[in-house]
Chain A
Amino acid sequence: MVMIDFWSLGVTLQLRISLDKTGLTKSNSQSNSTMPNRQKLASTLKQGETGVIDGFSNEGLSLKLLEMGLLPGSEITLVRSAPMGDPLYFHVAGYNLSLRKDEASTVLLR
């Protein structure tokens, strides 16, 4: 049987997610106006570029993305974008996943 310390994991996670949330709202508003490149997002990856997931800025969507295997610490590569620039085509967690640009912008990279 595999054992794991759930309690500590849960606590650190919750801390990190709530931190991310606050940090994120800030970075989003900044990226839209004055400082566009401060926080790297999955949506700002260039074609063929790989980033490492740090956290998420949208709680509801993050639940879905986590279930799809987009875990903090895992790599995400932009394979290409759709003909009209949106949605985006990623390689992540061993498979290909399509996210809209605004969805990808909730994935924060290290």
Chain B
Amino acid sequence: MPSNQHLTLALVGNPNAGKSTLFNLLTGLRQKVGNFPGVTVEKKIGTFSLESGKQCKLIDLPGTYSLYPKSLDERVVFDTLYNYVAPDYPQLIIVVADASNLKRNLLLFTQVADLGLPVVLVLNMIDVASRAGITIDEQILSKSLGLPVIKLNSRNGEGVGQLKKLLENPPTAVQRKLFDTNVFAPALVAEVKAEFGLKSDYLAFHLAQQYGGMTTITESQRQWLNDATTRLGFTGQSFQAAETIARYSVISKLVASAVTLQEQSQSRWTYRLDNYFVHKYWGFAIFMGILFLLFQAIYTWASYPMDLIDFGMSALSDLVKAILPDGPVADLITNGVLAGLGGVLVFIPQIAILFAFISVLEETGYMARVVFIMDRLMRRFGLNGKSVVPLISGVACAVPAIMSTRGIDNQRDRLVSIFVTPLMSCSARLPVFTVLIALVVPNVHWLGLFNLQGLALMGLYLVGFFSALVSAKVLHSILVRSKKVEQTSFFVLELPPYKVPKWSNVGYTIVNSVKSFVFEAGKVILAISIVLWVLASYGPGDSIEVATSKAQASYVATSDSAMSEATVVQAAKLEASYAGRLGKLIEPAIRPLGFDWKIGIALVTSFAAREVFIGTMSTIYSLGDDAENTQGVLARMQAERDPETGGPMYTPALAFSLLVFYLFAMQCMSTLAVTYRETNSWQWPMAQLIYMTGLAWIASWLVFMALS
């Protein structure tokens, strides 16, 4: 066998069957996260090699209970399995089944097997099954199914070697019928098979039922299927119930012959824990406690590595300044590139901690309990329990959070969730919050326990959260009244048993999220930092030179002792630059909020991504620095004086006004883009932009008026 041969594999399975764990186990760090074509469902592809040197490409498909999709996420599974012309079309399907809940997991397996594709059945979580007294004879199962069955424990890697050995000589496709579609629609199935050139009856049967929503067939094919089903009077849905029951009866016989169940006192751990985790009062208290811990962690634990990164970047900047001669090149590298790079890297600790938390909550099975206890409350605001996941993920970043609304099957709830998710304070706002809080909130401990700055931060997150809820309520009632969006709502949520998290899975989640942040968002931030440096360093015509000489002249005239000549000249230069002009242009609109044109520049650049605020501020203020001065942006802002009063520029009134503005304003191109993609209309992102920015302006104005 040639060693450069490629084998493309797809992982299919129920949610909670340990699919991702197996994926991580096989591919390690050799994984890439992308999207399925045409949709924004996350697509993870990884590679690994076998002992013979054969290369395997593994596609992780979304978890589903059936090939009949109930949500957009699940639709990807059948669409991918049908689309045999795609370059990544899998040559072998690995169906992962939870051995401790075999019957329900085998339903999806029998469906996939009947499609007539080469299939391997992996019985995962074999350890959990044996603890529950379930013994499975995989030989018998394999014989009656006519395909390979492998027992596996993806938590410790037991059985993986056997799977890899099997992949050296993968099984070929067998046309089998665990369920015979000819019971229902023999004529139609025959016609579809002939028209589409299919070998499998069951594939044709699915096509006849699913063509309406499929993304991997052409319009003319859809029309043909529509005509054929109408002509033959085929009503797809009415057969599904009968098919499912028939399959379960096949499964019961399979299981009866291959599985022995030892009566054993069932583990009561999950129920015992649920006495607390979903308890009337304890449940909410524990959830609030976890959130509290999360924010304290992001605020305090992350500060050490962040200081280290800051220190490293300053040292690097100093080094460059020492090596390179003064001039535009050194200036571009230190104040443009390195300042921007520092702005990206400094985020890593916070993102890592946040995703570690989210990942642990998901791994343990606690996240499903959050959905369970929050559903009733969320429904009051026009959302549902499943909106909690996007809203909580929104704390990290609205972009993946909005993508995760695909798990919500109710279209109206989903639109409301998408609309309000950006109001949750994302990690990009965090540095802005951190710096501004540090400016005006004293770093003391209240009752010797709670850090006051941490409490202020939590307060901001709560305000964001409640504004999201209230906005959801308003939007919900508007949508209900307009009756534009029809709804079919299933909640139906599995509550998996509690598990100790597999730490390597947590690690992969952290690595993937940090990687995608650094490479996706980082590119934008770096580019903007450089553009900004140009905008702040150059102006139209000779305006910069004119402003410089004017400032020098006037400085001599007044001789203000509070500011050095260099600072006055730099400020004049910045004011004359392109950036300064842009800031001045919008100054009248933001003056009532207490903002000046320098903050105006930051607001403009923040539209690309909020985190640019800090970079912008440091670029703007560092332009006045001499070579020895590389203090952090915080010190620079503290030193900034109000040109009118001579007092500190960043008064509590201004800082809180700015905090509130960043809390509410829609300042993220990526979020608008993903909202457009998810809703497939410009109406929604535009509404988000106008609503959130309007809300920000009004709230900031109120705060500024109240405090000054």
| Chain A residues near B (Cβ < 8 Å) | 1-2, 4, 6-7, 9-10, 13-14, 17, 59-69, 71-72, 79-80, 82-87, 89, 93-100, 103
Contacts and interface: CB of A to CB of B under 8 A. Distances in A.
Contact of B493 (A10, A13, A98): A98
B634 to A, nearest CB: 42
Which one of A6, A67, A97, A99 has the greatest number of beta carbons of chain B within 10 Å? Answer: A67
B460 interface: no
B311 interface: no
A4 B184 CA distance: 15
B495 interface: yes
Given A66-B245, A67-B65, A87-B491, A6 B372 contact: no
B35 interface: no
B97 to A, nearest CB: 13
Given A10-B184, A84-B377, A98 B103 contact: no
A87 to B, nearest CB: 5
Given A68-B65, A68-B104, A14 B238 contact: yes
Contact of A9 (B237, B245, B270, B493): B245
B103 A93 contact: yes
A62 B375 contact: no
Interface string B465-496: 00000000000000000000000101111111
A88 B497 CA distance: 16
B376 A87 contact: yes
Given A87-B376, A100-B491, A71 B254 contact: no
CB-based closest 6 A-B pairs: A84-B376, A96-B495, A69-B104, A10-B242, A66-B244, A6-B183
A2 B107 CA distance: 15
Contact of A67 (B101, B244, B250): B244
Nearest to B365: A96
A63 to B, nearest CB: 5
A40 to B, nearest CB: 20
Contacts of B491: 87, 98-100, 103
B245 A71 contact: yes
B246 A4 contact: yes
B241 A71 contact: no
B149 to A, nearest CB: 15
Contacts of A63: 68, 237, 240-241, 244
Given A4-B250, A98-B495, A9 B242 contact: yes
Contacts of B107: 67, 69
Interface in B264-279: 270-271, 274, 278-279
B340 interface: no
B253 A87 contact: no
Contact of B242 (A13, A87, A97): A13
Contacts of B241: 13-14, 17, 59, 62-63, 66
Interface residues on B, range: 35 or more
B490 A61 contact: yes
Contacts of B284: 83
B249 interface: yes
Given A17-B242, A63-B241, 7 more contacts: A1-B144, A67-B66, A71-B248, A79-B271, A95-B494, A96-B494, A100-B491
A59 B237 contact: yes
Contacts of A98: 368, 371-372, 491-495
A57 to B, nearest CB: 13
Interface string B249-267: 1100110000000000000
B179 interface: yes
A89 B495 contact: yes
28 contacts: A2-B250, A4-B246, A6-B180, A9-B242, A9-B246, A10-B184, A13-B245, A13-B246, A14-B242, A17-B241, A59-B241, A63-B68, A66-B245, A67-B65, A67-B107, A67-B244, A80-B274, A80-B278, A83-B376, A85-B376, A86-B376, A93-B101, A93-B104, A95-B495, A96-B495, A98-B368, A98-B372, A99-B492
Nearest to A1: B144
Contacts of B490: 61, 64, 103
Contacts of A9: 242, 245-246, 249
B231 interface: no
Contact of B373 (A66, A67, A82): A82
**Of listed B242, B270, B385, residue having the most chain A CB within 10 A:** B242
A89 B104 contact: no
Contacts of A79: 271, 274
Q: Which of A59, A62, A68, A71 has the most C-beta atoms of chain B within 10 angstroms of its own C-beta?
A: A68
B70 interface: yes
B68 A6 contact: no
Contact of A97 (B100, B183, B253, B492): B492
B30 interface: no
A61 B241 CA distance: 10
A79 to B, nearest CB: 7
Nearest to A6: B183
Given A82-B372, A89-B278, A89-B372, A94 B103 contact: yes
Contacts of A85: 376
A32 to B, nearest CB: 19
Contacts of B495: 89, 95-98
Nearest to A93: B104
A103 B371 CA distance: 16
A103 B489 CA distance: 9
A80 B274 CA distance: 9
B283 interface: yes
A61 B491 CA distance: 10
A74 B119 CA distance: 30
Contacts of B184: 10
A93 to B, nearest CB: 6
B385 A10 contact: no
A6 B179 contact: yes
